[in-house]
Amino acid sequence: MDTIPLDYETLRLIWWLLLGILLIGFAVMDGFDLGVGTLLPAVARTDAERRLVLNVVGPVWEGNQVWLILGGGAIFAAFPALYAVSFSGFYLAMFLILFALILRPVGFKFRSKVEDKRWRAVWDWGLFVGGFVPSLVFGVAMGNVLLGAPFHFDDTLRIYYTGGFFALLSPFAVLCGLVSVSMLIAHGAAMLVIKTDGPVAARARRYGSLAALATAVLFVLAGVWVANGVTGYSIVGTLDAAGASNPLGKQAIAAPGAWMANYRTMPWTWIFPLLGVAGALLSALMLRAGRGGAAIMASGLAIAGIILTEGVAVFPFLLPSSTDPNSSLTLWDASSSHMTLFVMLVVTCLFLPLVILYTSWVYRVLRGKVSPESLEQNHNSY
């Protein structure tokens, strides 16, 4: 281990930040696809309009979805205990997400291959589900991170999860789900304003700015709830930030108001919730003004602000346990080994910039509005 140039503590912190970056990357990149899917029935009424909307995201959604795949892989590689607890604990919620996400690739590819009203209506419905359900469930999951999940370990670190599916749908968690849905709708609407003209863009502006306003309001509401009504968690005593990755080595307790502790000790972190609110309001204004490019920047910032707000609140927790706080997962005791974190960091530093580079190139090639004529010229269009 002496040969690893970064110490364990630093690597864990870097990976916690990278996890945030990947989550934001997913919400920003795949988020507008999900938002567009959710908006599909509302902004596009005729078949021609729907094809227009599908072809806005058609060429890029596959690449965007890799942010989700990468997010899953990165959690597995960097915080295996988090991957194991959350994916198995939220089993039916994860299944619901998978079910919805399966409908997306085939929905895009299959819908326009057959000229039949009912066929297309079925896939339109599938694409809506494929956008709405993951947006909602991911938000609900983020809400449950704040609430804590009912799990504990035995001394071989086998996981016991004692909750059920419907227990995930508490009012607070559903509120978080709605923040997520409205945030991604606003983001998707901005993309539609950038890439289309006419009635689709007009409706996207209208619904998008409403969704952006809703995002700001719901986010503030959730924040007030966290400050006053959600029990947080905190570590008792000290936790060795460079110690062995075994969640049973520490003591933690449930403590009302604990999620505000980091905001009290580090007041500069208020910048993140402010960014969330300001970004959402700005994107509402820009959407109303029909300025898609500015709107998507604003909603992107809102997404980053909202995700980081939660990250700061729960730090250093990744997933607290509501039934056995000592079993809670934190970035200091649920990570991979020193060597794995280092190797994965090197790989990420090599490839993530490359990914961003060629993704930008692809977006540049595809720049410009999607027009009905361009759909006719390309037999591959959706």
Partner 1 sequence: MPDMSVVELSRLQFALTAMYHFLFVPLTLGLSFMIAIMESVYVMTGRDIWRRMTLFWGTLFGINFAMGVATGIVMEFQFGMNWSYYSQYVGDIFGAPLAIEGLMAFFLEATFVGLFFFGWDKLSKVKHLMVTWLVALGTNFSALWILIANGWMQYPVGAEFNPATMRMEVTDFMAVLFNPVAQAKFVHTVSAGYVLGAVFVMAISAFYLLRGRHADLAKRSMAVAASFGLAASLSVVVLGDESGYVTGENQKMKLAAIEAMWETEPAPAGFNAFAIPNQETRTNEYAVHIPWVMGLIGTRSFNTEIPGIDELVVRAEERIRNGQVAYAALQRLRADRSDMHAKAMFDLHWQDMGYALLLKRYREDIGNASEQEIAKAAADTIPRVAPLFWSFRLMAGVGFYFIAFFALAFWLATVRKLDKYRWFLKLALYSLPLPWLAIEAGWLIAEFGRQPWIIDGVLPTFLAASGLKLHQVIISLTGFVVIYTSLAVVDVYLLRKVILKGPDDMPGGERRPNHEGAPLAAASSTAA
Q: What residues between 190 and 249 interact with partner 1 by CB under 8 A?
A: 197-200, 244-246
From the list 96-104, 169-177, 273-281, 289-297, the region that binds partner 1 by CB under 8 A is: 96-104
Does residue 369 touch partner 1 according to CB under 8 A? no
What's the closest the beta carbon of residue 173 comes to partner 1, in angstroms? 19
What is the phi/psi pair of residue 334, to 5°?
-130, 20
- Binding partner 1 (rule: CB under 8 A), the pick from 9, 41, 160, 345 is 160
Does residue 156 touch partner 1 according to CB under 8 A? yes
Site for partner 1 in 47-76 (CB under 8 A): 47-49, 51-52, 58-63, 65-66, 68-70, 72-76
What's the closest the beta carbon of residue 131 comes to partner 1, in angstroms? 15
Site for partner 1 in 107-146 (CB under 8 A): 108-110, 113-115
Q: Helix or strand or coil: residue 337? A: coil
d(CA 358, CA 345): 20
Q: Helix or strand or coil: residue 234? A: strand
> Which tokens go with 89?
């604990």
> Which tokens go with 313?
């609140």
From the list 154-162, 233-241, 279-287, 289-297, the region that binds partner 1 by CB under 8 A is: 154-162
d(CA 310, CA 137): 16
Residue 57, CB-side half-sphere exposure with 13 Å CA sphere: 32
What's the closest the beta carbon of residue 196 comes to partner 1, in angstroms? 9
Does residue 86 touch partner 1 according to CB under 8 A? yes
Q: Helix or strand or coil: residue 317? A: strand
Does residue 46 touch partner 1 according to CB under 8 A? yes
Residue 253 burial by CB count (10 A; 0-12/13-18/19+): exposed, middle or buried? middle
Does residue 379 touch partner 1 according to CB under 8 A? yes
**Count of residues of this chain found to bind partner 1 when the rule CB under 8 A is applied:** 91
Q: Helix or strand or coil: residue 231? A: strand
Residue 240 or 270 with smaller CB distance to partner 1: 240
What's the closest the beta carbon of residue 32 comes to partner 1, in angstroms? 14
- Binding partner 1 (rule: CB under 8 A), the pick from 118, 155, 238, 265 is 155
CA distances from 199 to 9, 37, 61 (A): 53, 17, 23
What's the closest the beta carbon of residue 276 comes to partner 1, in angstroms? 27
- DSSP conformation letters of 148-192: -B-EEE-TT--EEE---SGGG--HHHHHHHHHHHHHHHHHHHHHH
- Binding partner 1 (rule: CB under 8 A), the pick from 125, 161, 172, 315 is 161
Provide the strand spans (E) within the chain: 151-153, 159-161, 231-236, 251-256, 317-319, 329-330
Per-residue binding string, partner 1, 259-298, x by CB under 8 A, is: ----------------------------------------
Q: What is the 3-state secondary structure (H, E, C) of 238-293?
A: CCCCCCCCCHHHCEEEEEECHHHHHHHHCHHHHHHHHHHHHHHHHHHHHHHCCCHH
Residue 110 or 263 with smaller CB distance to partner 1: 110
Residue 24 or 306 with smaller CB distance to partner 1: 24
Does residue 327 touch partner 1 according to CB under 8 A? no
Residue 163 or 257 with smaller CB distance to partner 1: 163
What's the closest the beta carbon of residue 303 comes to partner 1, in angstroms? 20
